[in-house]
Structure 1
């Protein structure tokens, strides 16, 4: 959530930054996306879909793709249109088919088409023909209509899109960059960029449902996709069948993405001990990756190395892109998403400590994001909710957060382009409530660095008896078909396959 590009999290977050994943030309018109009257939104006829094969080597057999026109402004459903890239894998057992399962990608900025390509075979195996599997690239992402802010390459580096304070905690450079990004997006983004929001993604999902000819959808939403899924279930409860929310954040409507970003500081603290235990284990000795003999020594080692790189950045194999303290801290944030990233992080730390060695930066840190990918991530989080604009307040928040959470050095509490966003949010965020059918299953890791467990509990409380929560004693971001926990996978598969939820919240061990 409000997360940035990262190898495994591509299916939730990729791209991209302030959170993230990732074309047509934006229509030039002024947009104020006020929620349309319900009757108008539901009676606007959705066009049919013309499917074509888009199967790729290594991907699911039979994957198909199509284009879905959606209104730029839902108050004017017959006006200028944007295009969504949509995809499906049809049930291979028609007699067993009971409906359509929508995969709602994360980010903001992740591609659902690519997520379906990566996870389609595994999900099809679990569902044994019960569903057609479908997904989409949201507005601004992948093969859907995109927009650009015209940002300089330096401003599109992940460590700059995320506002890491200076080594002394200063935020002056962050403020200047945030103003520059907000101004560039206002100049170049156009009406398309102003339409990138959770509210419009939810409307687009319902238009997709209509185009599919379905009265209801089942869904698996991950990361930011859990918030999109929760908002859809709030606005269209009668259109939901079996609903899975995987790795949820705090749905507080006064904060939304701003709160998710702030919560990542505590999330990193929750997750870091898993890396420390791994990096100090005797098994790392033969791999050359044992960073210390004791787990308790890993944290001070990491903090000291980051401080040293603040003072003297180290040349890397990427010309002109040194390993700074902030790049090391960002590498840690990315690596905490899944255990498979621990080894690359340890190698980076080892290389940074050896005077004669040039570190190899992870791809996500070695080069800038595409302008379109940076634009959609920034736009959604800024269009969804108003952010405070007081620079002194951000300065105070960063100073306090650096003391409480040194691993993230004040970044989660820092200023962003949203503080200087030209256009106020077109509509208020949706409040998630307990009103609606009891057809939601949540699943959550205990030690999630991006959507911490305490935030997920707030989503659980907001949904009340509509939901049940499966808690998995595991670290990382993303649970179902992602971290190998058989208990958690069984609970989700059983719910989607049979409709049976646990009678009460349950815990799954390692």
Structure 2
């Protein structure tokens, strides 16, 4: 799951969806897809080769003749038409992320032989601007850093979280519109197949990251014979009952596994941001500072919330563990807190982006599977978590707006199986705070013979061409370019 500052049985309904196959939604009378009209993309810093279009899809796949929405789609064509194999869809994390600009961004990090083999495709998923954007129009206070994750009160109470959840859920019901009911992982997968059909591709390859691995797994489950070469990078637990709750709870152990890497860095001699003399002292200092800031917050004008409290420190810790390049942000905040001061206010995305991320993320998580509605359930689990995992202070077992969501899930959660072609490669860092190896192994086990997993001896979220290593990158690149996978699961040291 991605942080914003850097997160289903198929309805065999009606004419468009039967046994996982979808007829082209933009078909002409001859049955061939109608030509897409490509035009210049909006935005700055894009590759001039990138062009954009829209693809019309049903708002509700159970009612294909009902209202439709437009998905924004981007493309950079294969750089060597004679070597072209097909289309490679870049699937973003989140939920709430978009890959619309990725052909111009991360797509250009792909090796030449991969860029020669594929058109690079990006999509803004349903609800994400400019694809029929949704917003709950919550109060600005609900967009603060400590509401991006459900941090309990300093005394462990979940009452404040539940109250905030009710405000958010009521705002989503009031302002979100009909589309909010139809944002889900399964519908994201169906949208992908609608895009595939509109592109005129018989099969589709994909590089999916973080929450995107759940979407990629859903696509491979619902449309197995429409898949070509599938890379799932930084993998989410596909638990068919707990769904996204399993992702949240994984932070308990993954923070404990990853904090020592920060502590070693933050105690290294010569580090200008050194906070203590030993790794053990770094941990003790962090816990002591968080407890002190719980009792005595430091005013932080311009920030949201406008104080440096214990949960702001904890949230900064969680964000910083996503990528070792972000360790200095946590160290500098700890050093400032020791002095009783605050650093400059971190840059935040525009409010519209935060509103959209909250709306799409909440809708996806809450529509994928039902959550317990009793505050007592969360209070009990938060207390257990706080006692065992002090760094995360109970957050991983607290409630999201799903506990009071105004709509029930329309479908059963996604169940990933081993039915389908053996054409999936998982790549997973050994130390990943957002999607730890324990989550990746759950997905690997569910896919069975369909998949091979490459575990990379590296630290950080996002492995391939980001925080991985040369062995892992070469293995994934070889698979995308040639289809060659390791014969069995591989460890890249």
TM range, smaller chain: over 0.9
Query: Within 5 A, what are the aligned runs for 1:103-142?
Result: 103-123=90-110, 125=112, 127-142=114-129
Aligned to 2:335: 350
Which of the numbers 219, 224, 248 marks the counterpart of 1:261? Answer: 248
Matched residue of 1:65: which SS?
A: strand
Does residue 324 of the first structure (1) align with residue 323 of the second (2)? no
- Kept after mapping to 2: 8 A contact 1:88/1:133: yes
Report the CA distance between 1:56 and its aligned residue: 6.2
Which of the numbers 452, 456, 464 marks the counterpart of 1:480? Answer: 464
1:147 and 1:232, CA in 2 relative to 1: closer, same or farther beyond 3 A? same
Report the CA distance between 1:353 and its aligned residue: 1.2
- Kept after mapping to 2: 8 A contact 1:110/1:141: yes
Does residue 60 of the first structure (1) align with residue 36 of the second (2)? no
Aligned to 2:165: 178
Query: Within 5 A, what are the aligned runs for 1:342-491?
Result: 342-355=327-340, 357-364=341-348, 370-483=354-467, 485-491=469-475
**Hey, what's the Cα distance between the residues in 2 that align with 1:59 and 1:371?**
24
**Hey, what's the Cα distance between the residues in 2 that align with 1:397 and 1:181?**
22
Report the CA distance between 1:131 and its aligned residue: 0.5
Aligned to 1:203: 190
Question: Over residues 208-263 of structure 1, what are the superposed CA-to-partner deviations in whole Å (9 max), with x where a residue is unaligned?
Answer: 00000000001100000001000110111100011100011211110111110111
Report the CA distance between 1:369 and its aligned residue: 5.8
**Hey, what's the Cα distance between the residues in 2 that align with 1:246 and 1:55?**
28
Aligned to 2:326: 341
Aligned to 1:298: 282
Matched residue of 1:180: which SS?
A: helix
**Hey, what's the Cα distance between the residues in 2 that align with 1:461 and 1:39?**
34
- Kept after mapping to 2: 8 A contact 1:102/1:135: yes
**Hey, what's the Cα distance between the residues in 2 that align with 1:380 and 1:466?**
26
Query: Within 5 A, what are the aligned runs for 1:187-226?
Result: 187-226=174-213
- Kept after mapping to 1: 8 A contact 2:14/2:64: no
Matched residue of 2:454: which SS?
A: strand
Report the CA distance between 1:412 and its aligned residue: 1.0
Question: Over residues 277-323 of structure 1, what are the superposed CA-to-partner deviations in whole Å (9 max), with x where a residue is unaligned?
Answer: 11111130xx2x11111111111111111111111111235267111
- Kept after mapping to 2: 8 A contact 1:448/1:475: yes
**Hey, what's the Cα distance between the residues in 2 that align with 1:431 and 1:449?**
24
Aligned to 1:4: 3
Matched residue of 1:438: which SS?
A: coil
1:128 and 1:48, CA in 2 relative to 1: closer, same or farther beyond 3 A? closer
Aligned to 1:14: none
TM-score, normalised on structure 2? 0.93
User: Number of aligned pairs?
Assistant: 480
Query: Within 5 A, what are the aligned runs for 1:29-68?
Result: 35-37=11-13, 40-41=16-17, 42-43=22-23, 45-46=25-26, 48-54=35-41, 58-68=45-55
1:54 and 1:487, CA in 2 relative to 1: closer, same or farther beyond 3 A? same
Higher alpha-carbon deviation: 142-151 or 427-436:
142-151
1:500 and 1:383, CA in 2 relative to 1: closer, same or farther beyond 3 A? same
**Hey, what's the Cα distance between the residues in 1 that align with 2:102 and 2:253?**
28
Question: Over residues 367-407 of structure 1, what are the superposed CA-to-partner deviations in whole Å (9 max), with x where a residue is unaligned?
Answer: 79632221111111001000011211110000000111111
**Hey, what's the Cα distance between the residues in 2 that align with 1:365 and 1:174?**
23
1:379 and 1:507, CA in 2 relative to 1: closer, same or farther beyond 3 A? same
- Kept after mapping to 2: 8 A contact 1:102/1:217: yes
Q: Which runs of no fewer than 5 residues in structure 1 stay unpaired?
A: 8-18, 20-32
Question: Over residues 134-191 of structure 1, what are the superposed CA-to-partner deviations in whole Å (9 max), with x where a residue is unaligned?
Answer: 0101011131111121211111223124221111111111111111211221222121
**Hey, what's the Cα distance between the residues in 1 that align with 2:245 and 2:226?**
29
Question: Over residues 453-477 of structure 1, what are the superposed CA-to-partner deviations in whole Å (9 max), with x where a residue is unaligned?
Answer: 1111011111111100000111111
TM-score, normalised on structure 1? 0.90
**Hey, what's the Cα distance between the residues in 2 that align with 1:194 and 1:455?**
27
**Hey, what's the Cα distance between the residues in 2 that align with 1:458 and 1:112?**
25
Question: Over residues 41-91 of structure 1, what are the superposed CA-to-partner deviations in whole Å (9 max), with x where a residue is unaligned?
Answer: 223532542111228664434011111111111123232111111111101
Higher alpha-carbon deviation: 107-116 or 235-244:
107-116
- Kept after mapping to 2: 8 A contact 1:337/1:477: yes
**Hey, what's the Cα distance between the residues in 2 that align with 1:455 and 1:140?**
27
1:368 and 1:207, CA in 2 relative to 1: closer, same or farther beyond 3 A? closer
